Amino acid sequence: MSVKAVMKTLKTGLILFVLTTFVAAGCKEVSGDDGPKDDSQISNLFTAGQEVGSIASEDIDEASGLVSSRSNNNYLWTHNDSGGEPIVYLMSKTGAEASQARLEGSQNTDWEDIAMGPGPDDAIQYLYVGDIGDNRATRNNLTIYRVAEPDLNVPNIPSSQTLSNVEAINYVYSNGARDAESLMVDPLTKDIYIVSKRESQVGLYVLPFPQSVVEMDTAEFIMSMPYTGFVGGDISFDGTEVLIKTYFEVYHWARPNGVIIKDALSEKPSRLMYTAEPQGEAICFSTDGSGFYTVSEKNSADPVPLFFYRRN
């Protein structure tokens, strides 16, 4: 978020106050960014979150996005929020520091989410980094950076590297500027999906493949969704499931064979068990489909835990 440097302390304090109040009352299920508590039944599709480690790298201080590596299932990619270096960070599935990769020619105005999926070359899996934050809905255009994921099946992964041949997908929204923090890539169609954040009913947008890297592209509005405060999302590696989260809830949609993303997200989702985190904005499926991970932005000197929710 472009103004997060100013609002961070107040926002985190409010979130921690809400969490403390609910825990003191013996209720861990808190809900919504700005909306009412979700009292729908919690699904048992996945277990409760288990803390599997904590972020070791001191350079990761505002983890705003998360995605599982396709090159090597033992790793996760993340990045910092607005104003940081244009770097994606590689860590193990216990949070151990592995590598950091600078995206050549890019900048981090307000990086909010990261995704992985196919692209122009069918033999390559690409990292998609969303510079899509716009807290006040004033940016003239936004950018999604696309770059081939490096090979992580090497004896020694470089502790620091630069990723070249980075493509910039610059776009505007078909119905005017808005803030967004959820970026997803459909592995079946290569379409890019973005979900807005701040409306009382968020919007689903699509950048159909092939996206332009030469001219300004347009993210087309598809539909409104009866939720608010979406801060991160992911589509499973096989394209059959979708996860989107608020600060206090995680929702799961099944996507049966042949169903397009719009129709899948038009259905009522399952509400999953979720351990609410201080400013928890990042979520991703594991590549092998065994569960999903969440992590929050750093809000204190304490280690930031990495949670895993195993599939039942």
What's residue 39's pLDDT? 83
What's residue 302's pLDDT? 82
Domain that holds residue 271: 4-310
DSSP string, the chain: -TTHHHHHHHHHHHHHHHHHHHHHTT------SSS----SPBP-SB---EEEEE---TT-SSEEEEEE-SS-TTEEEEEE-TTS-SEEEEEETT--EEEEEEETT---SS--EEEEE--SSTT--EEEEEE---TTS--S-EEEEEEEPPP--SSS--SEEEE-S-EEEEEEETT----EEEEEE-TTT--EEEEE-SSSSEEEEEEPSSPPSSS-EEEEEEEEES-----EEEE-TTSSEEEEE-SS-EEEEE--TT--HHHHHTSPPEEEP----TT--EEEE-TTSSEEEEE----SSSPPEEEEEEB-
Other CB atoms within 10 A of residue 77 CB: 25
What's residue 14's pLDDT? 41
pTM summary value: 0.89
Picking from 296, 298, 283, the residue whose alpha carbon sits closest to that of residue 46 is 283
pLDDT per residue, tens digit, the chain (312 aa), is: 544 444 444 444 444 343 333 333 333 333 334 444 688 899 999 999 999 999 999 999 999 999 999 999 999 999 999 988 999 999 999 999 999 999 999 999 999 999 999 999 999 999 999 999 999 999 999 999 999 999 999 999 999 999 999 999 999 999 999 999 999 999 999 999 999 999 999 999 999 999 999 999 999 999 999 999 999 999 999 999 999 999 999 999 999 999 999 999 999 999 999 999 989 999 999 999 999 999 999 766 688 999 999 999
Q: Are 81 and 4 in contact (CB under 8 A)?
A: yes
Phi/psi for 159 (5° steps) reads -65, -25
How far is Cα 88 from Cα 82, in angstroms, rounded to an integer? Answer: 13
Q: How many domains does the chain have?
A: 1
**CATH number for the domain that contains residue 214:** 2.120.10
